Amino acid sequence: MPTNNINILVLLRETSDPRPPARTITRGAGISERGLRRLPNPGDLTALEEALQLKDKLGASVTVLAIGPKRLDDLLRLAASSGADRLIRLWDHGLERGDAVADARVLARVLEIMTPTLFLSGNRLPDRGDDPVPALASALRSQACVNSVVAFSTRKDALQVLRKSDRGGRQEVVAPYPCTLLFEEGATLRYPSVEALTGAIAASIENWDLSQLGLPFWEVGATGSHLTSAEFGVPRPDPVRVVTPDATLPAFERILSLLSGGIKAREGKLHQLAANATADSIWQILDEEGLTLKAAP
Amino acid sequence: MMFPYLFSPLKIGTVEVKNRISFQPHLTNFAVNCLPSERQMYYWGERAKGGAGLIITEEMSVHPTDMAYEKLIDVYHPEVIPGFKKITDYVHQYDAKIFAQLNHNGQQCDGAISRLPVWAPSPMPDVLFRETPKEMEPEDIEEVARYFGKSAIHAREGGFDGIELQFGHSSLARQFLSPLTNFRGDEYGGSLENRMRAPLKFISAVRKAVGNDFTLGIRMCADEMIPGGLDLAQVQEICARFEASGLIDFMDLSIATFYNLYLVEGSMHTPLGYTIPLAAGIRERIKLPVFCTGRINDPVMAEKVLAAGQADMIGMCRALICDPFLPKKAFEGRMDDIRYCVADNQGCIGRMGVNKRLGCIQNPAVGEEKQWGEGTLQKAAVKKKVVIVGGGPGGLWAAKMAGRRGHDVTLYDRNEALGGQVLTAMKGAGRDEFGVIIRNEKDQVTKAGAKVKLGDEMTVEKVLADKPDVVIIATGSQPKQHPVPGADGPSVCNVWQVLNNEVELGNNVCLIDYDGHHRASATAEFLANQGKTVHMITSSLFIAAELGPSQDLYLARQRLLQKGVTFTPDIAVMEVGGEAGAKTVKGFNVYSNAWNEWGPYDAIVLAMGQKADDSLYMGLKGKVNELYRIGDSVAPRKVDMAIWEGHRVGREI
């Protein structure tokens, strides 16, 4: 594969900020949309930045794909302002409530149509912990896939990739083109210029639906899924560490010790003395604390 | 939804509980002839109706030697089953689960009731019951285990969804587990493995009796809170071993023993949620669902506990005695309507301690749910014009109930704020939470459609000018003006004047406690907090003598002593003498009859009784169609009677 004609596809997803507590919906199975704060997936932004750096270095073309409703246009405009060449948003109501396998079929079909040299994306979605769809899509295309990518370099007919291995180890692998790289959150996306931001408002976004993919409806979305959501519950929160209070303390003080987590109130002593006596007293305190220089014996 | 954790279901063994609120086990004294009663059915049913996901009954006796109280259910008799079925069917109609708690109290029993020797691991008397027990022989232990099994079958046949074994603060099992009460040299004493042998026998017997398809858990004492007793680290190990036995499905927790009963049922002076860290400590070690309890009276706090992973189930006891519908109101986001428990303890624990039926100072319907429970209030057949004078707790309840029944109600109070004597009482040291009683009701009065007029001192003429059909006098009481000779001079005042900052006191103060209640001790502490030297003289055996049943006595005395307050008991005060700023107290010892004089003091504070404020009632007598008086204006008593009478008259007019 010639390195001066690299065609890169970046998948850009949105994720929920995992910090505010999620609430489950009261009927059916799912998470309530109310109060959720949506973010561009940090790993995907790292993938986009890596793609743009490759474009800067080798003149590669960068296409950014978002799969979801119209609000994802904002993500694509962000990509456009940063330097992406082509923007595609794919959405169809038939894609709703698909499981990982059904969604992977869709993504695999996009890869088949676009035939990118490199397909880049984030390794995981922070709100759910993982997202197997890009890896499954690559598998459906029989395409090499490397996860937890830390760095990579291009060769004439292959990629040399450094990836995270178990227990903090690093592994170097060589992957043939076409190839999928899944990034850990790392390099931050460049800041676009004001002109680029303004220009992105008018950027052209291609809207694709199922008819462009040529996939039958029974292979995608809820109908194409193996899994059905029956129930959704909040997880058992992690227990907190509790220190056993000193068993010799009186009972009520033990309770207070438990409630304070073992932190004791700061104690102080009030000395009301004349000036000379105050100076002597301060000297004595410093001496008791070992903060004075003692004369050698 | 405001509380997603609190209202998420929880699987406990084989049952799924619809939310995380458990109405915790507690004595009621509602059993009749040691059998389940209709009163219990309505009592537990009301909490199920109010939205609690789980009800755990009060302890039930598994063996004839276990007679800690007269009115417990003897679950080892098969005669209990029909009554159980009525109770469980009633609770189940509200989509709640109900567990039976089985217990043997061991040394914490009264042989005078059972006319049998008390059984315990070692012949060591309990600090409260003070009866030397018989050291259980191995065959006694086997017999109790058999009775546990037999009792469990009765509970299952009675329709309960699960069983909780009481291994907590008052239980034979805890006495076996604790090095404080188990001095045996055989296979049931010594090492932890040996000390766990008898409790494990009890669990095994119950599991064998009910089978594996039935939920079974235990209530452990998470920390005995006494040197030499079980502490959190030891209980963590015990709980881990119980869990490893594979015999139980959940771990409920209590705290302390009868050495420090004031921690089992922490009063207003105990921090909210005071045992939560212990539950978190146990949950750190085991995977089973862990229940916590201990002054959790607020769904906001409950939600935080669950979200922080400190417990899996929130035990609410007094909170649901006070407001059975707290879960429903929390679910619907009606936080303003929740009647929060203030842990005053006079109506619940204070009554239990003297063998009365369970009550609640804020909820007159406790134990009366059949006639006064939710849905029993009827609209009045004839709409009447009702004037209520006095906006204390009694007047508020009368106005609320009458308003809800459709009467045209106007509530007058001479002060600029509702609350009556509560506004003063809550100024005592550590008594500020008492004011929540007024917070709980004042909005309910206006929601009931009653009009409130403040700053209006009512007279006979003004009341008559309103042309009311009904007048309810709730004018409360005042401190007695002249209880002993010399007690009306300068430098002599009453507790109300002190708490309302109406008087200047010197540094050296004597408080005469004929009250024995918070009125005296909280005022003494209020003064001690200001750095004053306080001496208390009482005619009782000890100061704060009335605070024992409500579990306030220990900590009140501890705080007073820590703040340098001194006491002289057994004294009948006969005269207050001396000059202003150098007052003396004269009296005699009620046992030796020896006279003495105390002082001089800068000031004397009197807690020597109240006088009913009944002048308006007397003036209106015979001049209105219906005239009632309630609360202290009839006779000075406590807040529970004011609320009770206000509730009743509001229902009946």
Domain with residue B428: its CATH number is 3.40.50.720
- Shared domain for B585 and B624, answered yes or no, is no
What are the chain A neighbours of B260 within 8 Å (beta carbons)?
Answer: 251
**Residue A254: what residue type?**
R
Model confidence at B392, pLDDT cuts 50, 70, 90, reads very high
- Domain residue extents for chain A: 7-219
- Is residue A19 pLDDT above 90, yes or no? no
* Residue in A closest to B294 by C-alpha: A255
* CATH number attached to the domain at A7-219: 3.40.50.620
Question: What are residue A15's phi and psi, to 5 degrees?
Answer: -140, 165
pLDDT for the residue A265: 66
- Shared domain for B440 and B548, answered yes or no, is no
Nearest to A234 among B8, B225, B256 (CB): B8
Binary contact (A233, B233; C-beta < 8 A): no
pLDDT for the residue A233: 66
What are the chain B neighbours of A259 within 8 Å (beta carbons)?
Answer: 271, 273-274, 276-277
- Please name the residues in contact with B79: beta carbons below 8 A apart, sequence gap of 6 or more: B35
Burial (CB count <10 Å: 0-12, 13-18, 19+), residue B57: buried
The CA distances from residue A223 to A98, A228, A243, in Å, are: 8, 10, 52
What are the chain B neighbours of A239 within 8 Å (beta carbons)?
Answer: 280, 283-284, 309-310
Task: Give the residue among A130, A140, A135 at the shortest CA–CA distance from A108.
Answer: A140
- Shared domain for B506 and B644, answered yes or no, is no
Q: Of A173-182, A244-253, B10-19, B359-368, which range is least confident?
A: A244-253
What are the chain B neighbours of A246 within 8 Å (beta carbons)?
Answer: none
Binary contact (A240, B309; C-beta < 8 A): yes
Nearest to B277 among A26, A237, A242 (CB): A242
Percent of chain B, pLDDT > 90?
Answer: 96
Model confidence at A17, pLDDT cuts 50, 70, 90, reads confident
- Shared domain for B592 and B637, answered yes or no, is no
The model's pTM is 0.79
pLDDT for the residue A168: 80
- Shared domain for B528 and B592, answered yes or no, is yes
pLDDT for the residue A236: 72
Euclidean distance between CA atoms B295 and B268, whole angstroms: 9
* Cis amide leading into B600 (omega within 30): yes
- Shared domain for B426 and B496, answered yes or no, is no
Q: Is residue B462 part of a domain?
A: yes
Segment holding B166, helix H or strand E: strand B162-167
How confident is the model over B140-163, as pLDDT tens digits? 999 999 999 999 999 999 999 999
Question: What are residue A226's phi and psi, to 5 degrees?
Answer: -90, -30
pLDDT for the residue A297: 52
Domain boundary among B341, B372, B403: B372
What are the chain B neighbours of A231 within 8 Å (beta carbons)?
Answer: none
Model confidence at B389, pLDDT cuts 50, 70, 90, reads very high
Domain containing B589 — which CATH number? Answer: 3.50.50.60
Q: Looking at per-residue confidence, does A20 or A101 come out higher?
A: A101
**Interface probe, candidates A254, A257, A259, chain B, greatest B C-beta count within 10 A:** A254
Q: What is the ipTM of this complex?
A: 0.71
pLDDT for the residue B246: 95
How confident is the model over B412-425, as pLDDT tens digits? 999 999 999 999 99
**Interface probe, candidates B180, B224, B232, chain A, greatest A C-beta count within 10 A:** B232
Nearest to B227 among A237, A247, A255 (CB): A247
Q: Looking at per-residue confidence, does A243 or B426 come out higher?
A: B426
pLDDT for the residue A155: 85
Q: Looking at per-residue confidence, does A189 or A269 come out higher?
A: A189
The mean pLDDT value of chain B amounts to 96
Binary contact (B232, A259; C-beta < 8 A): no
pLDDT for the residue B181: 96
Domain containing B155 — which CATH number? Answer: 3.20.20.70
Specify the number of domains making up chain B: 3
Classify residue B390 as left (phi > 0), alpha (psi -120 to 50) or beta: left
pLDDT for the residue A20: 63
pLDDT for the residue B423: 97
Model confidence at A295, pLDDT cuts 50, 70, 90, reads low
Average pLDDT in the B321-327 region? 98
pLDDT for the residue A3: 52
Q: Of A99-108, A220-229, B203-212, B466-475, which range is least confident?
A: A220-229
pLDDT for the residue B485: 93
Classify residue B33 as left (phi > 0), alpha (psi -120 to 50) or beta: left
Percent of chain A, pLDDT > 90?
Answer: 51
- What is the domain range of residue B588? 492-608
Average pLDDT in the B537-558 region? 94
- Shared domain for B466 and B593, answered yes or no, is no
* Residue in A closest to B226 by C-alpha: A251
* Residue in A closest to B230 by C-alpha: A247
- Shared domain for B57 and B195, answered yes or no, is yes
SS3 B647: helix
Q: Is residue B192 part of a domain?
A: yes
Average pLDDT in the B129-144 region? 97
Euclidean distance between CA atoms B247 and A265, whole angstroms: 43
Q: Which two tokens stand for residue B400?
A: 């609320």
Binary contact (A23, B225; C-beta < 8 A): no
Average pLDDT in the B171-177 region? 98
Nearest to B4 among A24, A242, A256 (CB): A24
Q: CA neighbours within 13 Å on the CB side: how many for B409?
A: 31
Binary contact (B308, A240; C-beta < 8 A): yes
Q: Is residue B199 part of a domain?
A: yes
- Shared domain for B507 and B562, answered yes or no, is yes
Domain boundary among B372, B401, B431: B372
Average pLDDT in the A90-110 region? 93
Q: Is residue B397 part of a domain?
A: yes
Chain B residues within 8 angstroms (CB to CB) of chain A:
1, 4-5, 8-9, 223, 225-227, 231-233, 256, 260, 263, 270-271, 273-278, 280-281, 283-284, 306-310, 312, 555, 558
Numbers of helices and strands, H then E, in chain B: 24, 28
Average pLDDT in the B310-318 region? 96
Model confidence at B598, pLDDT cuts 50, 70, 90, reads very high
What are the chain A neighbours of B306 within 8 Å (beta carbons)?
Answer: 237
What are the chain A neighbours of B1 within 8 Å (beta carbons)?
Answer: 23, 26
The mean pLDDT value of chain A amounts to 87
Q: CA neighbours within 13 Å on the CB side: how many for B214?
A: 22
- Is residue A230 pLDDT above 80, yes or no? no
- Is residue A269 pLDDT above 60, yes or no? yes
SS3 A154: strand
Nearest to A239 among B4, B256, B280 (CB): B280
**Interface probe, candidates B178, B221, B278, chain A, greatest A C-beta count within 10 A:** B278
pLDDT for the residue A83: 95
Q: Looking at per-residue confidence, does A229 or B507 come out higher?
A: B507
Binary contact (B223, A23; C-beta < 8 A): no
- Nearest chain B Cα distance for residue A34, angstroms: 10
Q: Looking at per-residue confidence, does A270 or B143 come out higher?
A: B143
pLDDT for the residue A185: 87
Binary contact (B9, A21; C-beta < 8 A): no
Q: Is residue B484 part of a domain?
A: no
What are the chain A neighbours of B271 within 8 Å (beta carbons)?
Answer: 255-256, 259
pLDDT for the residue B217: 98
Q: Of A230-244, B224-238, B279-293, which range is least confident?
A: A230-244
Segment holding B465, helix H or strand E: helix B460-465
pLDDT for the residue A27: 63
Binary contact (B4, A234; C-beta < 8 A): yes
- Is residue A232 pLDDT above 80, yes or no? no
pLDDT for the residue A186: 86
What are the chain A neighbours of B280 within 8 Å (beta carbons)?
Answer: 239-240, 242
* Residue in B closest to A261 by C-alpha: B277
Binary contact (A21, B271; C-beta < 8 A): no
- Shared domain for B151 and B297, answered yes or no, is yes
Chains A and B form CB pairs within 8 A to the count of 71
Model confidence at B320, pLDDT cuts 50, 70, 90, reads very high
Q: Is residue B1 part of a domain?
A: no
What are the chain B neighbours of A254 within 8 Å (beta carbons)?
Answer: 223, 225
- Shared domain for B348 and B398, answered yes or no, is no
What are the chain B neighbours of A237 within 8 Å (beta carbons)?
Answer: 306-309
How confident is the model over A105-150, as pLDDT tens digits? 999 999 999 999 999 999 999 887 889 999 999 999 999 999 999 9
User: What is the DSSP secondary-structure string of B51-72?
Assistant: T-SEEEEEEEE-STT--SSTT-
- Shared domain for B266 and B193, answered yes or no, is yes
**Interface probe, candidates A231, A252, A253, chain B, greatest B C-beta count within 10 A:** A252
Model confidence at A244, pLDDT cuts 50, 70, 90, reads confident
What are the chain A neighbours of B5 within 8 Å (beta carbons)?
Answer: 234
What are the chain A neighbours of B307 within 8 Å (beta carbons)?
Answer: 21, 237
- Is residue A1 pLDDT above 70, yes or no? no
